[in-house]
Structure 1
Amino acid sequence: MTREYLLFRLSGPMAAFGDITVGERRSLWDAPSKSGVLGLVAGAMGFTRDDHDALLDLDATLGFAVRLDSPGYPLRDYHTAQTPTEAARKRLHKAGASTSTRKNDLVADDLNTVLSERMYRLESVSTVALWQKPDQNADLTRVEAALKRPVFAPYLGRKACPLSAPPRPRRLTCDRLLTGFGAYDAVEEVTRLALKTPRLDSARVWFEFEAGLTVEEADAKEIRLRRDGLRNRALWQFSDRREGRLEWSDIPVGTAAEDAA
């Protein structure tokens, strides 16, 4: 059965798609998270963090897969920042002042220093695939248009991590997920040559389970849990999501056709 996929590439000098964070250490997964990528998509579409229903709709209607083209290498940042004490923050609020920005925060008369370790991936490149889940209604054409002309600047997990190149989204109709990745590489070959990046021979592909890809689920070489399914953005609550691993290589594995813009 053929399916329409939206594929695009994420690359940057730094990326930070975080793991579950408790305390001072901000660790990472080995691959971009669904919640992080859909946050990038939501910003491109003009959704704000307060658009709770719109964010939940993206998570519920779109399936997610990512191919690790180049994992990059790790960087640990010893991070310090000043924040108001709770008492100082209450005094600011009582006086009618806002603490919604760092500039407003630092007006406080009593500051604490917060220490943390923040992990990043340097020079990482990933190719993302999105598709409509069964019995859902997702507008991939709208998502594609938003990624081409984003409302809010996209970034790779944290605002300090901008993209190094446009994501270059393309809608492709394919009979298999892996076929879609190969077809995307074929139509983006000119870009690869212009950037002088090496041809990809093999890579890991992580894809969402229970999102309609029954053939891929049967072929999965590994299954793991990731807590990156959105539950409540305002409270930073996420649910577990199963994903499977496939091995991609530069070998034709089916048929694909590019959809009209």
Structure 2
Amino acid sequence: MDELSSSSSSSASFLVFQLHATLSSWGEPAVGEYRGTAEHPGQSALVGLLGAALGLQRDDELAHAALRDGYGYAVARLSGGRLLRDYHTAQVPPRSALKGRPTSTRRAELSVPRHDLNTILSTRDYRQDASSLVAVAPRSGGLPAHALDALAEALRRPRFVLYLGRKSCAPSAPLWPQVIEASSARDAFARYAALHESARTAAHEASRDARGRPALDLLPALAPIERLHFDDHIAAGVPAEMSVPRKDRLIRRIGWQFGDRTEHMAWLAGEG
């Protein structure tokens, strides 16, 4: 753990961006009809977000594996938000009706006689007004498929629509990606927060109307970091206080297959 947690004096590059949403849902392993959510995005969610920004197709397994294996990830949880539980119903055809028929779209799946459709029930969890910061860094000794500047530009001008876990969960603020030189993820988050506040102040003053009133804030103020979550491949800058297994290591995006990895946590309540 020394390599993970120590604050190195040398500087490295980190891509940092923010995730704010009125609703978000970071999928956990689903059991039966229950679809839970974590309080912050896991590795597979971040790989999917970057893949969507780059315009990767779901069946491009090598490209997704490059995002998984080429970078280390850290998440600074600013707020876990509030839990919202949705009772959900959906119509599905029986398995026998799908034999020999392509079902690449929802419309194709439902193109059976109405009397053949069944109703399934599920409970789906969302987080309300959750927010976090994300740091991405190339793995030591690795060969990342994309430069951090290219990933930042993709997040500014994504090829596919970005959403936070489910398609109904649109970001409520720009991701505002920045490439930052720092000694660790913790240091990168602190530098990002300072840049963010400076940009907010400048935008606030520049966007006043004719009566001197400020316009709509597109960059909401950042809350202090509550918790830092990080993997084995990024310099966190803090010692791990707890390590837990998470089943969010992407194996096959097209088949929704995920494996285990270890996530480390450190509590930073009250720190900006």
What band does the TM-score fall into relative to the shorter chain?
0.7 to 0.9
Between 48-57 and 189-198, the greater mean CA deviation after superposition: 189-198
One of 246, 249, 253 as aligned partner of 1:226 = 246
How big is the shift at 1:201?
Answer: 3.4
Pairwise mapping of residues 113-128 of structure 1 onto structure 2 (< 5 A)? 113-128=119-134
Q: Is the 8 A contact 1:8 1:169 kept in 2?
A: yes
One of 129, 135, 147 as aligned partner of 1:129 = 135
Task: Give the secondary structure class of the aligned counterpart of 1:229.
Answer: strand
The CA distance in 2 between the partners of 1:52 and 1:88, in whole Å, is 29
One of 235, 241, 245 as aligned partner of 2:261 = 241
How big is the shift at 1:235?
Answer: 2.5
Q: Is the 8 A contact 1:10 1:125 kept in 2?
A: yes
Task: Give the secondary structure class of the aligned counterpart of 1:7.
Answer: strand
Rate the CA distance shift 1:250–1:135 in 2: closer, same or farther, 3 A: same
Q: Does 2:107 match 1:103? A: yes
Q: Is the 8 A contact 1:41 1:147 kept in 2?
A: yes
Q: Is the 8 A contact 2:24 2:165 kept in 1?
A: yes
Rate the CA distance shift 1:178–1:111 in 2: closer, same or farther, 3 A: same
Amino acid at match of 1:208: D
TM-score (norm 1): 0.87
The CA distance in 1 between the partners of 2:13 and 2:258, in whole Å, is 27
How big is the shift at 1:212?
Answer: 4.4
Unaligned ranges ≥5, structure 2: 1-9, 205-216
The CA distance in 2 between the partners of 1:199 and 1:84, in whole Å, is 46
Unaligned ranges ≥5, structure 1: 252-261
Cα RMSD of the aligned pairs, angstroms, is 1.9
- Count, aligned residues: 243
The CA distance in 1 between the partners of 2:237 and 2:187, in whole Å, is 13
Task: Give the secondary structure class of the aligned counterpart of 1:188.
Answer: helix
The CA distance in 1 between the partners of 2:244 and 2:54, in whole Å, is 30
* Aligned counterpart, 1:165: 173
Between 228-237 and 42-51, the greater mean CA deviation after superposition: 228-237
Task: Give the secondary structure class of the aligned counterpart of 1:104.
Answer: helix
Between 166-175 and 221-230, the greater mean CA deviation after superposition: 221-230
* Aligned counterpart, 1:213: 235
Rate the CA distance shift 1:214–1:5 in 2: closer, same or farther, 3 A: closer
Deviation per CA, 1:115-146, whole angstroms, max 9, x where unpaired? 11100001111100000011212221211110
The CA distance in 1 between the partners of 2:143 and 2:197, in whole Å, is 31
Rate the CA distance shift 1:121–1:192 in 2: closer, same or farther, 3 A: farther
The percent identity for this pair of structures is 35
* Aligned counterpart, 1:259: none
Task: Give the secondary structure class of the aligned counterpart of 1:20.
Answer: coil
The CA distance in 1 between the partners of 2:163 and 2:96, in whole Å, is 34
How big is the shift at 1:236?
Answer: 1.9
Rate the CA distance shift 1:214–1:12 in 2: closer, same or farther, 3 A: closer
The CA distance in 2 between the partners of 1:51 and 1:117, in whole Å, is 31
